[in-house]
Amino acid sequence: MASRTPLTVADAAMHTPPVALTRRARAVNRVLADVYPDAHCELDYQSPFQLLVATVLSAQCTDVRVNQVTPALFAAFPDPAAMAAADRDTLEALIKPTGFYRAKAESLVGLSHDIVERYDGEVPGRLRDLVTLRGVGRKTANVVLGNAFGVPGITVDTHMGRLARRLGLTVNDDPVAVEKELMALIERKEWTLFSHRVIFHGRRRCKARKPECGACEIAALCASAPGAKTRPASA
């Protein structure tokens, strides 16, 4: 007789029919919409350029810390032209609390040069243009597009990647692969808000080291929750 062993979360995700996976993903989105009706970008900004800069600074740093740094930063360097011509020591000192400040300063000066030289000083509003800027990847581009330009996008940061895998919506670690899979599951008009809702949930409930599964509003939809059902697999 063939032995039967429980599937892992990854195995369960791989064996879930596409229609069922889509329904579950959209159910997750609906529940999170009720739980976090005010979900939004937690970076403070007043222009696409400010959001672009803040998003670059948020790598390996909390939004709270970035928001503490950016007022003085934008007072000193209010636009791409000013940032491109920034004194490096001054710039690094202003952003030092965000960590990795030398690499971030290099990115900020580089992307500002690119905006000035290739886009007449205006942050471009297309993904294919944004990702050509130095230091800007798809995650950063989607944050800017979704929040500053109203162009829907899935933002795959550490929270989104972790929750998508825990929920059993993907088995991938690569952010680009996760983004494309989620784009196929969630309605396009919901991409940006879905990203905010999942990120809110990752920060407030489904934490990296100690997820609060017992109080989780989407536990019934989660492949990793205690008691979650997995199909037996035949050896």
CATH of the domain at 22: 1.10.1670.10
In a domain, 71, yes or no: yes
Same domain, 33 and 57: no
Same domain, 59 and 32: no
In a domain, 141, yes or no: no
What are the pLDDT digits (tens) for 25-55? 999 999 999 999 999 999 999 999 999 999 9
Same domain, 94 and 118: yes
Same domain, 207 and 187: yes
> In this structure, what are the phi and psi dihedrals at residue 153, rounded to the nearest 5 degrees?
-160, 150
CATH of the domain at 84: 1.10.340.30
Residues with a catalytic annotation lie at: 139, 157
| Domain that includes residue 73, residue range | 48-122
Same domain, 228 and 171: yes
Q: What is the reported pLDDT for 8?
A: 54
Q: How confident is the model at residue 85 (pLDDT cuts 50, 70, 90)?
A: very high
What are the pLDDT digits (tens) for 96-128? 999 999 999 999 999 999 999 999 999 999 999
| Residue at which a domain ends, from 122, 138, 163 | 122
Number of domains in the chain: 2
Residue 68: C-alpha distances to residues 88, 135, 197 (Å): 20, 22, 23
Same domain, 30 and 60: no
> Contacts by 120-127 with C-beta closer than 8 Å and gap 24+?
121/79, 121/80, 121/81, 122/48, 123/47, 123/48, 123/49, 123/52, 123/80, 123/148, 125/48, 125/149, 125/151, 127/151, 127/153
Same domain, 17 and 74: no
In a domain, 139, yes or no: no
In a domain, 143, yes or no: no
